[in-house]
Amino acid sequence: MKIYEKFNINVVFSEDLIQKRISEIALQISENFKNKEVLAIAVLNGSFIFCADLLRKINLKTTVDFVLLSSYCGMKSQYKVNVILGLKENIKDKNVLIIEDIVDTGVTLDFLIKEVSFKKPKNIKTCVLLNKKTSRKKNVSIDYSCFVVDNSFVVGYGLDYNGLFRGLPYIGKIEGSLSNE
């Protein structure tokens, strides 16, 4: 028995569907950035699996850097973003692709776009796995989005609940209580 099977997780996006959609997005990115080099900036921790799959499907010269930001606590978004690990790459005049797991209020992505803009890249595009449109506080520009989700809390494929569930190959909703942890 797989360890997560004892939890009641309702699958929202299956492993196959996620991989198929990432292939489509990777193709669009490869065509739009044709003959250009791209610096991917992935937001840890949530986007590490998405970033790994996406970059392996993009047919371009890519480099990658990671930032670790925190704005969530349990199941609640906080409106203040903390930088725990910052950018290491020089991004001046580069084509930047920000990779984020999920945009909810938009506060995190808005913060990162501003931080990156200060460093004068050639341009900034954003790519998100999940777009939760209903609780937006900041009007952020999303160039590539894999799926739209409703306002419920989802886990899996990099997304966690208190650090757990990131390793699930699919995205789902936890139904009921987590008391049998």
What are the structure tokens assigned to 166, written together?
Answer: 């990131």
Question: Among residues 38 and 69, whose Cβ is nearest to ligand 5GP?
Answer: 69
Is 48 near ligand 5GP (CB under 6 A)? Answer: no
Stretches 8-16, 59-67, 85-93, 107-115: which one binds ligand 5GP (CB under 6 A)? 107-115
Task: Tell me which residue of 40, 86, 87, 32 sits closest to 62, measured CA to CA.
Answer: 40
Sign for the pseudo-dihedral over CA of 137, 21, 17, 5: negative
Q: Which residues contact 94 (CB under 8 A, 6 or more apart)?
A: 37, 38, 39, 121, 122
Stretches 20-28, 31-39, 113-121, 149-157: which one binds ligand 5GP (CB under 6 A)? 149-157
Is position 104 annotated as part of the catalytic site?
yes
Is 160 near ligand 5GP (CB under 6 A)? Answer: yes
Rounded Cα–Cα distance for residues 53 and 44 (Å): 15
Is 91 near ligand 5GP (CB under 6 A)? Answer: no
Stretches 29-37, 53-61, 82-90, 103-111: which one binds ligand 5GP (CB under 6 A)? 103-111
The catalytic position among 104, 110, 143, 150 is: 104
Q: How much of the chain is helix, strand and coil, in % rounded to 5?
A: 25, 40, 35
On whether the CB atoms of residues 89 and 38 are closer than 8 A, the answer is no
Judged by CB under 6 A, which of 72, 89, 125, 142 binds ligand 5GP?
72
- Residues labelled as active-site residues: 104
Q: Where on the chain is the footprint of ligand 5GP (CB under 6 A)?
A: 43, 46, 71-72, 77, 100-109, 132, 153-155, 159-160
